[in-house]
Chains A and B, each alone.
Chain A
Amino acid sequence: MQYLLMIHAEEGGWNKLAKAEQEQGMAAYNAYTEALKKAGVLKSSNRLQPSSASTTVRVANGKPQVQDGPYVESREQIGGYYLIDVADLDAAISWASRCPGASHGVVEVRPTWSMPA
């Protein structure tokens, strides 16, 4: 099954870190990504630009309404994601708990729309 691991974290958190801490954080994420690849479970992943770069779009009366900012204004935003393919929820939880994001934020584990094979 495929699961999307969404990293919710405080947006300002990263910039408050000292340079050495940022480097350490990057290294931890790189190592985690490498481990997922090595295990053959990583489908895709990326870090996201801050939510200030977000734009929301909805169509009302046939006209696109475009707005600056994220859908939900909140201190915590999705900062990145991993799409993984594993056997079941326990395996997904096990990977989520290793994600550095689970320590500095919260990792939401969500299955994609498909049945177990």
Chain B
Amino acid sequence: MSLPEGDAQPRDDARKTADAVARRSYGKLVAFLAARTRDVAAAEDALSEAFASALADWPLKGCPENPEGWLLTVARRKVIDMYRGRRRHEIAGEQLRVLAEGLDDAATNAKIPDQRLALMFACGHPAIDAGVRAPLILQVVLGLDAKTIASAFLTSPAAMGKRLGRAKDKIRQAGIPFSVPERGELPGRLDTVLDAIYAAFTEGWTDPGGTDVARRDLTEEAMFLARLVTELLPTEPEALGLLALMLHAEARRHARRSRHGDYVPIAEQDPALWDSQMIDEAEALLRHASAVDSIGRYQLEGALQSAHVYRCRTGHANWAEVVQLYDALFALVGSPVVAINRALAIAEVHGASAALDAMQEAAADGRLAEYQPYWAARAELLAKTGAHAEARHAYEIAIGLERDASVRRFLQQRQSALAP
């Protein structure tokens, strides 16, 4: 469609309104559309057609008073048409009736019930392959396209599209419910949702320079999701802990790189560069969470961030406390990654040899052979014990495994600082 010259303004307004609605309500609309049929793909298709109609319609007729309601009405008609058109034997007449029901109310009703949490629980369901839960939530709740998600998760758009499609089929075919689990089941089920959100965050975080736009966006989107969960479940301590953990990490983003783009480890960062507002919010969230008295992984990780910030700001060494927190975290998740960080804290209290001993057990885990932080930590500790030849070798492997050029440079500097 081509509009006359003078009409650029209404077209811009229409796009702006549509973008704002997409940002604010995409997941809400998908959730509402898919909740009855469990057909996420159909809901997404209908919604994207509704957005296209809006961009054609609004510049001519003006933006509707209730854009969400307008989009929902159009999208629901499209879903009904889609089902009729395909003559799907699986879809019962009853379902079409349910879909059509209240169709006209939607346009006038300003309030669309927020079922995004239910949608997140469907996408993060344990019956969905764990690796696709985070991409699925990013796509279905936030409307990110498969290409953006694929680049963040280092796969091809085609492969990512296929995995997302399979997961949506599973939701529909297996009858995965769109509902918030019962009280008793909630903590366990919430964990899988929080893990997915955290996975989205860490994927974005592996680009601390923020040079890759898709990745930088992903940390923002993940924080948006974490915030959404805490708004909808304000008394779940682990949800609060996760948001606190993310805020702490995000608060130090700008301090992690020097002006020349070099990597700066936390101990050498300038606390004045940290975002104190984010840190304050994180601290408040952790206090709030601890009042519930139900400790969990994300609260512990948030508390560790908090301890690091306290030490760097005050110069008061709190390594014994840090080791305790890592002990608790290791007991809870038992991951080799935690064991490495725990060993580094032990080095501060009991020395590098004790830390190397502590890391020995974790080293038995085969996955660590390709894990850069393991080799970097090992190199650091070996250097401290004076085993320079071994340290040089460990740095070599760490450098070879790193994909961020500035971290590579940092490791190379450490390596060349070793005595010959």
Q: Which residues of A contact B (CB under 8 A)?
A: 1, 3, 87-93, 109, 111, 114-117
Contact = CB atoms under 8 A, between A and B. Distances in A.
A106 B179 CA distance: 26
Contacts of B174: 89, 109, 111
21 contacts: A1-B175, A3-B175, A87-B175, A88-B175, A88-B179, A89-B125, A89-B175, A89-B177, A90-B176, A90-B177, A90-B181, A109-B174, A111-B173, A111-B174, A111-B175, A114-B90, A115-B88, A115-B92, A115-B95, A116-B38, A117-B95
B127 A93 contact: yes
A109 to B, nearest CB: 8
Contacts of B90: 114-115
B177 A88 contact: yes
Interface residues of B, number: 18
Given A1-B175, A89-B127, A89-B175, 17 more contacts: A3-B175, A88-B177, A88-B179, A89-B174, A89-B176, A89-B177, A90-B177, A90-B181, A92-B175, A109-B174, A111-B174, A111-B175, A115-B91, A115-B172, A116-B38, A117-B94, A117-B95
A11 to B, nearest CB: 27
A97 to B, nearest CB: 11
Contacts of A92: 175
A93 B174 CA distance: 11
A88 B177 CA distance: 6
Contacts, number: 39
Contacts of A1: 175
A4 to B, nearest CB: 12
Contact of A87 (B94, B173, B177): B177
Interface string B109-146: 00000000000000001010000000000000000000
B175 A116 contact: yes
Nearest to B172: A115
Given A89-B125, A89-B127, A117 B92 contact: yes
B152 to A, nearest CB: 28
A112 to B, nearest CB: 10
Nearest to B181: A90
Nearest 5 A/B pairs, CB to CB: A88-B177, A115-B90, A1-B175, A88-B175, A89-B175
Nearest to B88: A115
B192 to A, nearest CB: 13
- Which residue, of A87, A111, A116, has the highest number of chain B Cβ atoms within 10 A? A116
Nearest to A94: B185
Contacts of B95: 115, 117
Contacts of A111: 173-175
Nearest to B127: A89
B176 to A, nearest CB: 5
Contacts of B127: 89, 93
